[in-house]
Amino acid sequence: MSRVPFEYAVLRVVPRVDRGESMNAGVLLYCQARDFLGARVHLDADRLRALDPAADPAAVEHALRTAAGVCDADPSAGPAGEEDRGRRFRWLTAPRSTVVQPGPVHTGLTDDPEADLDRLLERMVLPPS
């Protein structure tokens, strides 16, 4: 199988937008050539509370799961989940000033988008093992 381009962005949690402190909590990956859009999320509640003791991990987890639902075209994701994969990725990666924010979009080459999504989650989000 040949390698094809993909785009990805890290989802960041910014519990206090006024302070600008963030932690990585997910990855979005879009590969047009393989008709793939996926998300992996992982919230470290202890790290979140270290950034903001008043943060609500359940609310943040819900926001992360909603982003994943948009990727999966989950009916509960609302109108954004009904768009084609490319539009969903662009909507998810549009800048916003909310608790869950996308980082910049980066590119790469893949022959297995699912495996690269898992690799990016491990490398960019999960604590080192």
The low-confidence residues of the chain, meaning pLDDT below 70, are: 1
Distances from the Cα of 49 to the Cαs of 18, 40, 44, in angstroms? Answer: 16, 21, 9
> What is the pLDDT at residue 118?
98
CA distance 5 to 77: 27
> What is the pLDDT at residue 82?
82
Asked whether 25 and 41 are in contact (CB, 8 A), the reply is yes
What global pTM score does this model have?
0.93
